[in-house]
Amino acid sequence: MTANGRTSTAPDVADVVALGESMVTFLPSRPGRLADVPSFDRAIGGAESNVACVLAAAGHSVRWVGRVGADGFGDHLVEAIGGYGVDVRAVRRDPARPTGIYFRTAGDRSTDAHEVAYYRAGSAASAMSVDTMDLGAIRSGRILHLSGITPALSADCLGLTRELTARRPGRPLVSFDVNHRPGLWRDAGHGHGPEVLLELARGADLVFVGDDEARDAWGLDGPEAVRAALPEPELLVVKQGATGATAFHGAPGPSGTDQVTSVPALHVDVVAAVGAGDAFAAGFLSATLRDLPVRDRLRHGHLMAAAALTVPGDLATPPARDHADRLAALDDTAWGRLRLGPGWTQDGERPGDRTGEGADEEVRTP
């Protein structure tokens, strides 16, 4: 490796490379306020590393690129993410900055009682830049997956994300999950979050955005309004919570060749509404790697989200590929009757045809 970190340590081509901060997460041993919880269990958290872990568990070759401290928490992250089958050889260790950590309560993230305490300011990940990261490893995938969390971490992280979303010949397909985090941008001081996220999304080939965050960040109401503001990406996916998801694909310009595909969300018996947005992106990317039709890509996204929603933590064992393919191939009536509950991804399990109320796909931490 050269002094600036640009020599690739992992030059082989992966299906997906995911770049971003992963943090050690402390989950409470019982419900209650953070002030009252006596002990916590350790886990891992990070939008991009979540996507990497799900894709690796689904059988894809995946590389996670990040920066962690030269500390025990950094050791844990590298070992835990690598344990999912993710290539972690390009992760950088920072001797001067710590690994980020955060604590959260056990309650539903959508309620006012939910608390999250982040300790990520000045973290090793905030020092990611064009000069400190291995650009060869970052660009060594068929798909490069990024999110709007990284550019909020520091001016250097923003510069790196701008470099990676710049439209240049020969770059991998760039996937960008908007992941608007107002709290991060309030403290950032290096740009207005909504404007920066719109700029970066316009440089991507594939964009994921929730209709709620499009309203909050950009004042846009409805998938068509989002597409009008983001005509550049070849494929735009607008997630609509319990309603479903809509994909715009093609070229929306004067030729009017843009195509629109919508798929309703599944009925899910929710155990915990965490991690589903990352799982949806992983399911969609997995189907994209297999060049499946856009409808099936959306369905695989919903199925991966359902796997995350029916387990307590952020990461779930995905359904076997043939099982997911069988469900994704159902006709519209049968798809609409599916209701998935805990254990549905296990071998031999078949989801019932019960109907029920849908659940939000994603509840994001502010």
What is 191-252 written as a DSSP string?
A: S-HHHHHHHHHHT-SEEEEEHHHHHHHH---SHHHHHHH--SSSEEEEE-TTSEEEEEES--
- In this structure, the strands spanning 141-147 and 14-19 are parallel
b/e per residue 203-227 (b: at least 16 CB within 10 A): bbbbbbbbbebbeebbebeebebbb
What residue type is 43 in one-letter code?
A: A
> Residue 310: which residues within 8 A CB-CB, separation 6 or more?
268, 269, 270, 271, 316, 340, 341, 342, 343, 344, 345
The reply to whether 216 belongs to the active site is no
Torsion of CA 33, 35, 41, 44, to 10 degrees: 80
State residue 35 phi and psi, 5-degree precision: -65, -25
Contact 85, 315 (CB under 8 A): no
Q: In this structure, what are the phi and psi dihedrals at residue 65, rounded to the nearest 5 degrees? A: -115, 125
∠ CA 90-18-223, rounded to 5°: 165
Token pair for 309: 């929603």
Q: Are 58 and 285 in contact (CB under 8 A)?
A: no
Catalytic, out of 205, 278, 296, 314: 278
Cα torsion angle, 27, 31, 34, 40, sign: negative
Torsion angles phi and psi, residue 19, rounded to 5: -115, 130
Distance of CA 66 to the CA centre of its chain: 14
Active site residues: 278
